[in-house]
A and B are shown apart, each in its own frame.
Chain A
Amino acid sequence: MTEVGPHLFWVTSRAAGIAAMILASGSLGVGLLIRGRGEPRRLLGSDARALHEALSLATIVAIAIHGLALLGDSYLHPSPLDIAVPFTGAYRPLWTGLGIVSGWGIAALGLSYYARSRIGAARWRLLHRFIAIFWALGLVHTLGAGSDAGQLWLLLAIAAPAVPAALLLLGRLAESAGQPREPQLSARRGPAAPAGR
């Protein structure tokens, strides 16, 4: 048996990090399901959008807890700079640095939704697509720096939402590259619906 007392902040940070990754994958998947280019909506628009927004906010909160909980860890005792500035910490600087970049990217691009009118809808939509890169960085961070990275339960928990999200992302990328996955079906449907929201 191990004394858990000194590791409570570490446990909290680990749980929040895994939760953030699962929620981010869920949010990405729902976001990609809202509307496929040239296809009708697959989910009810407002419902899916509300779910996407709630999952995104939950992800950002989980990322914040993941970083802030480490400040209380008596073993690593990182400074605020170590958890906020990429590649400056002493503990696995590359992997944690990628995680910090991912966290800031997800937070900034996620919260930019509320400044959409200032940014401009078309520009915001373009920016919002880059969130997938930060999600992928988060995955790399989880598998590279995660304390439980080799555990089967973690791999299953991460893969369950991440694999469908990755497949949807690949599908979207293929569509945007002008390679329709089901040319026969789209031909049968007739003229394509207008793209974007």
Chain B
Amino acid sequence: MDEMRKLEAKGLARAKSRSRRRRVATIRSRTIRGSLALFAILWAVVFVQLASGNDPVLSQKPKAERRSATANSTARESASEPVREPAPEFEQVESEPEAEFEEVPPELEFEEEAPVEIEEPLVTSSS
């Protein structure tokens, strides 16, 4: 009788531990699936927000650039494109084209100096 009871108790314990393991496995798989679903939903929300042009970071920058563009009354192609908050490295890259624009006027000055042909008559007169 005692052995029978021991066997019954062992069987019950095994069944209990089996059901507990099954429950734990179910919880784990549900958590993994839930986490993946959460990530997918958040990814879709951020993606749609960005693709529709309503991204909080990308939509702030063009407004600021548009303001500066209207103040300077010079519209550049780069201003129309949404740019993320500038990282230090990119600020330097963006400043390069401005330097090129500023270097253009000296060439024009040379062209304007060309019509000064006073020297030619002077040369001819000396010869």
Report chain B residues within 8 Å CB of A1. Answer: 51-53
Docked pose: A50 CA to B27 CA in angstroms: 7
Task: State whether the Cβ of A39 lies closer than 8 Å to any Cβ in chain B.
Answer: no
Interface size of A as a range: 20 to 34
Interface of A is mostly: helix
Task: State whether the Cβ of A137 lies closer than 8 Å to any Cβ in chain B.
Answer: no
From residue 33 to 63 of chain B, which have CB atoms closer than 8 A to chain A? Answer: 35, 38-39, 42-43, 45-47, 49-53, 55-58
Report chain A residues within 8 Å CB of B28. Answer: 50, 54
Whether A15 lies near B50 (C-beta < 8 A) is no
Docked pose: A51 CA to B24 CA in angstroms: 8
Docked pose: A150 CA to B54 CA in angstroms: 13
Q: With A15-B46, A76-B87 known to touch, is A22 a contact of B38 (CB < 8 Å)?
A: yes
Whether A19 lies near B35 (C-beta < 8 A) is yes
Q: Which residue of B has the minimal Cβ distance to A146?
A: B56
User: 0/1 per residue, A48-59, Cβ < 8 Å to B?
Assistant: 001100110010
Task: State whether the Cβ of A12 lies closer than 8 Å to any Cβ in chain B.
Answer: yes
Q: With A23-B38, A58-B32, A75-B90 known to touch, is A50 a contact of B24 (CB < 8 Å)?
A: yes
